Amino acid sequence: MVDITHKVTTLRTAKAQAIVHVSSAETIAAVVENRVPKGNVFEMAKVAGLFAVKNTHIAIPDCHPLPVEYTAVEYEIDDLEIRIFITVKTVYKTGVEVEAMHGASVIALTMYDMLKPIDKGITIREIGLVQKTGGKSSFKENNPKEIQAAVVVCSDSISKGIKEDRSGKVIVDKLKSYGVKVNSYEVIPDELELIRARTFELADKNQLVIFTGGTGLSQRDVTPEALEPILERRIPGVEEAIRSYGQRIMPFAMLSRSVAGTIGDSIILALPGSTNGAKESMDAIFPHLLHVFKILKGANHEPSE
């Protein structure tokens, strides 16, 4: 099974379809008028589809068990075709596309089984996904274009060449994966005034400035102290999301002093300096954070669907 432990929980929906094609108008009439010997085709098939959705992870080996929080089945009749539509919703870390398609296929098979005594010419076709929403892919598609970013590593030991930077490179890679252009990447020592000066310089040229390191509780960890007085507006929800996400993975995350705020139209972030801490912080807030650039330009708060 694919590792989804790093993913965030979002509302995810999937709509799938299947088409049952019968060979005569009499079969359609029997279904509509509830004259099929085996029972009510629509209701029986619907129940089978609901069971199929809930048990997808048992039938399909690589599917994750997940909470199915909504399922709806609809039918449309077009000449000799019965079109099946099934919508599935969950609030979870992974999508429900397979659950929806599994449900559609079982509904179609149930119809086939119930109708075969009266119609030997039934076929099933076009089982597939109609629509999906939720997850990072949906947020990524809605991101504004051409975001410019700068990444700064705050570390005495790395700036002296004693250690090699990893957290900054993780952040750069993550940003590039979301289509953000990284204009600069640099390493500076844990000096409060230097951090503050670089913040103003970089915020003037970039929409996103991310610091990594210096958010702990040692005497040299001064990144929050450098940034907090100069931020025009704090974004506490981002800070809470980072710590909440990290806390579920590593108890020490509660000791991090991550910071988020704005200077003008630039977003300033201070993330942990450990490789895992930086990676998990990025997983917690990206690409969702990029929506803020639409807000800063005057868009409403609702992401498009």
CATH number of domain containing 18? 3.30.70.640
Residue 4 lies in a domain: no
Residue 304 lies in a domain: no
For 284-304, the pLDDT digits (tens) are 999 889 988 887 766 555 544
| Predicted local confidence at residue 9, as pLDDT | 87
Residue 106 lies in a domain: yes
For 149-170, the pLDDT digits (tens) are 999 999 999 999 999 999 999 9
Residue ending a domain, among 99, 115, 138, is 138
For 67-117, the pLDDT digits (tens) are 999 999 999 999 999 999 999 999 999 999 999 999 999 999 999 999 999
Across 194-202, average pLDDT: 98
User: Is 113 considered catalytic here?
Assistant: yes
Domain match, 158 and 293 both: yes
| Predicted local confidence at residue 137, as pLDDT | 62
Question: Which domain covers residue 42, as residue numbers?
Answer: 10-138
Residue ending a domain, among 138, 156, 178, is 138
Domain total in the chain: 2
Residue 175: both structure tokens together: 């940003």
| Predicted local confidence at residue 261, as pLDDT | 97
Residue 273: both structure tokens together: 């300096």
Domain match, 131 and 176 both: no
Residue 173 lies in a domain: yes
Residue 253 lies in a domain: yes
Domain match, 168 and 285 both: yes
Domain match, 163 and 286 both: yes
pTM (2 d.p.): 0.71
Domain match, 181 and 213 both: yes
Domain match, 287 and 152 both: yes
**CB burial string 8-21: b at 16+ within 10 A, e below:** bebebbbbbbbbbb
Higher pLDDT, 263 or 135: 263
- 238 pLDDT higher than 50: yes
Domain match, 24 and 113 both: yes
Could you give the CA distance from residue 174 to residue 259 in angstroms, rounded to a whole number? 19
- Average per-residue pLDDT in the chain? 93
Domain match, 171 and 292 both: yes
The share of the chain scoring above pLDDT 90, in percent, equals 84
Domain match, 88 and 154 both: no
| Predicted local confidence at residue 212, as pLDDT | 98
For 21-38, the pLDDT digits (tens) are 999 999 999 999 999 999
CATH number of domain containing 280? 3.40.980.10
Residue 305 lies in a domain: no
Domain match, 281 and 205 both: yes
Residue 2 lies in a domain: no
Could you give the CA distance from residue 261 to residue 225 in angstroms, rounded to a whole number? 13
- 253 pLDDT higher than 80: yes
Residue 56 lies in a domain: yes
- 144 pLDDT higher than 80: no
Domain match, 39 and 182 both: no
Domain match, 113 and 201 both: no
Across 237-245, average pLDDT: 94
Per annotation, catalytic residue among 78, 113, 156, 165: 113
